Amino acid sequence: MTEKNHVLIFDTTLRDGEQSPGATMSHSEKLEIAELLDDMGVDIIEAGFPIASEGDFQAVTEIAKRSKNAVICGLSRANFKDIDRCWEAVKHSQRPRIHTFIGTSPLHRDIPKLSKDEMADRIHDTVTHARNLCDNVQWSPMDATRTEWDYLCRVVEIAIKAGATTINIPDTVGYTAPRESADIIRRLIDEVPGADEVIFATHCHNDLGMATANALAAVEGGARQIECTINGLGERAGNTALEEVVMALKVRHDIMPYHTGVDARKIMHISRRVSTVSGFPVQFNKAIVGKNAFAHESGIHQDGMLKNAETFEIMRPEDVGLSETNIVMGKHSGRAALRSKLKELGYDLADNQLNDVFVRYKALADRKKEVFEDDLIALMRDQESGEEYDRIKVKFLRVICGTEAPQSADLTLSIDGEDHQTTAQGDGPVDATFNAVKTLFPHEARLQLYQVHAVTEGT
């Protein structure tokens, strides 16, 4: 059991967050985000859905092997095959968890054509099976907030008796209002036998813009685990945002006397990394991590800020990892400025590492008026993967577009260290570029995935 006022942070960026259309992350990106989550003090990381694909299984397995502090959790449906596959992935963690779920509302019971009794039996059998494999089992009644009250109490009791250690109450479609969210948790704790022996969790979606409010209300009702994602990433309108609940509990500790183990100073760095790897930009006015969250344009606001920052800010930028200083990086910046900026971004480099990065930084700065933080993060990612040998590298690309077809592309590729130049035309810049690539290879290739990610905003 957790300490009375300690709220566990369960991050599901790598599972529910990645289910956002277009937010698929590579294997290495998942490992990086998991490491950042572990480092910032997240209690539980839901690393994926192991049976969904071989890639998901491998990612969860590797994250479980690498984790240092966090509980590593995998998701499974309510069947033995899913649960066994989940266990095979998470068992490598020092602190594994199996999270199994089933839809309990009338709408979700109708899909598998299960009666209430049949579903209750399945819940008992699958939770028992999971608990026989793992001491840490979380159970979720999907669409709990639209499940009949008597039946919800019944299946929660069954899951507890079968060995679940955490009961998660999902507001799967973001339908609940804050008062309801608090009441559901409070009543379950009061009315279900054995409720005092488990941790209750809340999982909220943002379809009506109330995910964070609902999560905080659930804590007031007795929940001691919040399921959330970085930047609120998630299906449809997203999930409860980790940065919002962490800072709300920190800033309004006067009326919400709860605390988490998350190092809030690392919020901004991981927010930017998740935005970059997922391809989902953070809206400018997003709470806590948006570009304008600490920006002031109104003359009255600026005057007040210059005299006393507390006039228009309830938290300091440095509380979430933003620097008090605004060092503009450019071609005249030296090693000291680069070291300071990288340290602010979470990279503490030895002298020899700094020298290597500085050479590449100067080459970039010569081509840009200003080097942004995302540029530096990209440099560091390239530096960290520098030991890998890329057989194919883009040395030069120029695309000529106009109002009249065709478009043309001039391309130079380095293939196994040898430069190859070509020119091709196409029905647009992308088509022209890939036609150029095709001329350099003898075999037919099909474009399976095309994504455009701007590393920075440019100048």
Q: Phi and psi at residue 407, in whole multiples of 5°? A: -90, 160
For the domain made up of 389-459, the CATH class stated in words is alpha beta
Q: What is the location of CATH 3.20.20.70 in the chain?
A: 8-278
Sheet strands side by side (includes 418-426): 392-400, 407-415, 418-426
The pLDDT score that the predictor gives to residue 297 is 38
**Nearest Cα to Cα of residue 248 among 300, 178, 186, 143:** 178
Which part of the chain is CATH 3.30.160.740? 389-459
CA distances from 23 to 6, 275, 356, 383, 458 (A): 31, 9, 32, 24, 22
Short-list 153, 209, 208, 220, CA closest to 181: 220
pLDDT for the residue 296:
40
pLDDT in tens, 208-262: 999 999 999 999 999 999 999 999 999 999 999 999 999 999 999 999 999 999 9
Cα(169)–Cα(149) distance, rounded to whole angstroms?
12
d(CA 331, CA 351): 20
Of 118, 102, 15, give the one whose Cα is nearest residue 59: 15
Output the pLDDT for position 370: 78
Contact between 245 and 216 (Cβ < 8 Å): yes
Looking at residue 300, its pLDDT comes to 37
**Amino acid 302: pLDDT:** 38
pLDDT (0 to 100) of residue 126: 98
pLDDT value at residue 33: 96
Positions of the chain with pLDDT lower than 70, given as ranges: 1-2, 295-313, 323-327, 384-390, 448-459
Cα gap 168→184, rounded to integer Å: 12
pLDDT at site 431: 87
Q: pLDDT digit string (tens) for 364-415?
A: 888 877 788 778 888 887 776 654 456 788 889 999 988 877 899 999 998 8
In whole angstroms, give the CA distance from residue 283 to residue 278: 14
CATH no. of 8-278: 3.20.20.70
Q: What is the pLDDT of residue 267?
A: 95
